[in-house]
């Protein structure tokens, strides 16, 4: 009997080793966060089995875990490129610009939608990318340009359809207290970050239905985590995330898969230029009522520009995690619903989703690097007495 069990243990260990090797081979083909999460999960299960069970049963359970992971990773393998066509909005700079170059190198037929087809970003794409890439004039807030872009895409892809649409175009505005943000900034953020993505999606869905392809929307961690100073931007990205969740269920009937990318802090040109900041500050100061300006103080408003310096200090310069996640969303047999590239992004999203509000608010305030000053009225020692 002992000999039988010994042989069974050795057999289980051999099976575990084989399955573990197969899992590792699959991991090499799995980009971005897929591999990291699987390694953590398999390691956790293996350690748990060894600590709580006998060698025989832990070997059996660990073998089963490896087998299930092998099946799971098989579904995460990337489909062949086969000159699949992808439309990317906001390709002038940032994620869209880097993604256009990246997918072009992988062999995709790329339609890079830009706000200014004569700008430096568009010219660089024409100069550095292959003939497969086409630069399209595509301001997502301009319905006529969306229609023109659709016509040009149809002309090139013909009966193949369009494999993927990546709604990347977005604006940030000047980060400042929600009370101080002009209504025009709220409307501009919604126009670009939400309504623009919706209109592009609606226009190109007939082509995605033909290919049973992918819809990928670039949201933000700010769309799930309430971040101070980002009321306009965060609200627009939250709307985009909800739109994506609804479309994911509706478009599943047509064979179209929908994914949302929620990056953490990365350095891109979404923050704009000094000239843009000057204009935004002037707009804020020009539209404030005297009592609001008195309470906040002009010095407080002008100090908010330091937010950009902090983003530059803590933001990641390497966009590779974002590019790998978007590639997985476009190419995997079974892409994920949500991707959270960037260190700590998924932790904050999980934290706000599952922790009580009072706990989240406390830690968010405690670790918020962007709250470095207080409005003028709150700095006054007798403010509380006046309020009462």
Grouping H, G, I as helix, E, B as strand and the rest as coil, residue 111 is strand
Q: Is the distance from CB of 197 to CB of 240 less than 8 angstroms?
A: yes
Q: Is the distance from CB of 106 to CB of 327 less than 8 angstroms?
A: yes
Cα first-last separation, the chain: 83
Distance CA 326, CA 218 (A): 9
233 is known as an active-site residue: yes
Query: Nearest 5 degrees, angle CA 123-CA 317-CA 243?
Result: 80
Q: Which two tokens stand for residue 143?
A: 């319905």
Catalytic residue among 102, 150, 233, 339: 233
Closest CA to 135 of 155, 108, 117: 117
| Segments of 262-317 assigned E as strands | none
Closest CA to 326 of 162, 72, 103: 103
In DSSP terms, which residues pair with 266 in a beta bridge? Answer: 316
Cβ neighbourhood burial of 25 (10 Å; 0-12, 13-18, 19+): exposed
For residue 3, report the phi and psi dihedrals to the nearest 5 degrees: -65, -40
Query: Nearest 5 degrees, angle CA 337-CA 219-CA 352?
Result: 75
Report the b/e string of 78-104 with b at 16+ CB within 10 A.
beeeeebbbbbbbbbbbbbbbbbbbbb
Cβ neighbourhood burial of 293 (10 Å; 0-12, 13-18, 19+): middle
| Segments of the chain assigned E as strands | 85-88, 109-114, 134-137, 164-167, 214-218, 257-261, 338-339
Q: Which residues are catalytic?
A: 233
């Amino acid at each position: 009997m002992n000999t039988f069990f010994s042989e069974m243990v050795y057999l289980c260990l051999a099976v575990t080793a084989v399955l573990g090797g197969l899992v590792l081979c699959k991991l090499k083909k799995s980009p971005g966060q897929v591999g990291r999460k699987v390694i953590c999960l398999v390691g956790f299960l293996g350690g748990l089995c060894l600590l709580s069970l006998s060698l025989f049963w832990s070997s059996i359970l660990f073998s089963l875990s490896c087998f299930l992971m092998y099946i799971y990773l098989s579904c995460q393998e990337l489909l062949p490129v086969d000159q699949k066509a992808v439309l990317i909005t906001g390709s002038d700079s940032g994620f869209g610009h880097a993604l256009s170059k990246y997918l072009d190198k992988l062999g995709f037929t790329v339609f890079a939608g830009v706000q200014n087809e004569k700008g430096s970003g568009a010219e660089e794409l024409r100069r550095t990318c292959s003939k497969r890439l086409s630069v399209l004039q595509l301001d997502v807030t301009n319905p006529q340009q969306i229609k023109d872009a659709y016509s040009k895409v149809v002309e090139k892809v013909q009966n193949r359809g369009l494999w993927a649409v990546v709604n990347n175009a977005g604006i940030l505005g000047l980060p400042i207290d929600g009370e101080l943000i002009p209504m025009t900034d709220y409307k501009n953020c919604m126009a670009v970050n939400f309504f623009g993505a919706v209109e592009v999606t609606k226009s190109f869905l007939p082509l995605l239905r033909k290919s049973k392809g992918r819809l990928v929307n670039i949201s933000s961690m700010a769309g799930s985590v309430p971040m101070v100073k980002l009321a306009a931007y965060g609200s627009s990205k939250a709307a985009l995330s909800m739109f994506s969740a609804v479309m994911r269920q509706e478009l599943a009937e047509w064979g179209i898969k929908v994914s949302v990318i929620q990056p953490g802090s990365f350095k891109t040109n979404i923050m704009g230029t000094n000239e843009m900041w000057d204009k935004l500050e002037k707009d804020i100061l020009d539209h404030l009522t005297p009592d609001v300006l008195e309470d906040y103080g002009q010095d407080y408003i002008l100090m908010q520009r330091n937010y950009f310096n902090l983003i530059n200090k803590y933001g990641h310069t390497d966009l590779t995690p974002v590019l790998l996640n978007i590639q997985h969303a476009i190419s995997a047999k079974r892409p994920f619903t949500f991707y959270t590239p960037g260190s700590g992004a998924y932790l904050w999203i999980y934290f706000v989703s599952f922790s009580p509000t009072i706990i989240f608010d406390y830690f968010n305030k405690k670790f918020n690097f962007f709250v470095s000053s207080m409005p003028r009225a709150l700095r006054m020692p007798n403010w509380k007495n006046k309020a009462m």
